[in-house]
Amino acid sequence: MILLHRSLKRSEDYMRSMKRLFEVNCKTIDGVIETFNNKNGQGFMLKIFCSYKPENDLAVWFYESADRKIKIAYSTRSNVDEFNSWKEPEKVNFQVYPIVKDIKREVIADILKIIKSYYNLDEEIEMPKSISI
C-alpha cells in the first residue's frame, strides 16, 4: 500500500479548505497552489497573483515541520526560488501552531488575516460553522 506522507496529507487538507473559501469569498484574488520541499519541511504553497508583480505579491507556505509543528511562512513572491522554497529566510515571517485536534479553523483564519491585511481587503470573510471547511 502506498500512502501520502502525513505532512503532505495535513497540508493538503488545509489547502483544500483554503481553496474552497477562496472560491466562495475571495473571487477577486487569483493564485495557484503548488508543492514545495526544502530542508525545513514539505507541504503546499499558495502563490497569489494580485498585482502580477513578484515583489508585491504574496507567497504563503504551509507545512508540518520535522519537530511536528504546523508552520505558516509568508513572504513576497520575489523571495521564491525555482523549487518553491524561500531564497532569503530572513525575509520570511513564520507562525507556528501545535498539532492539536481543533487547530484547523484557527490556522485557516490566520492565513486569511495575513492575506487580508497584506492586500488591505475590507471585505469580511465569513468562516463556515462546520469543521469541514
Taking only the tens place, the pLDDT of each residue in 29-80 is 788 999 998 877 889 999 988 877 888 899 999 888 888 888 999 999 999 9
Q: Which of 34-48, 81-95, 118-132 has the highest mean pLDDT?
A: 81-95
pTM score: 0.82
C-alpha cell at 131: 469543521
Would 51 be classed as within a structural domain? yes
- Separation of alpha carbons 119 and 48, rounded Å: 10
Would 131 be classed as within a structural domain? no
Would 123 be classed as within a structural domain? no
From the list 103, 48, 45, the residue with the least C-alpha distance to 70 is: 103
Name the domain count of the chain: 1
Domain hosting 113: range is: 6-118
pLDDT computed for residue 16 by the predictor: 87
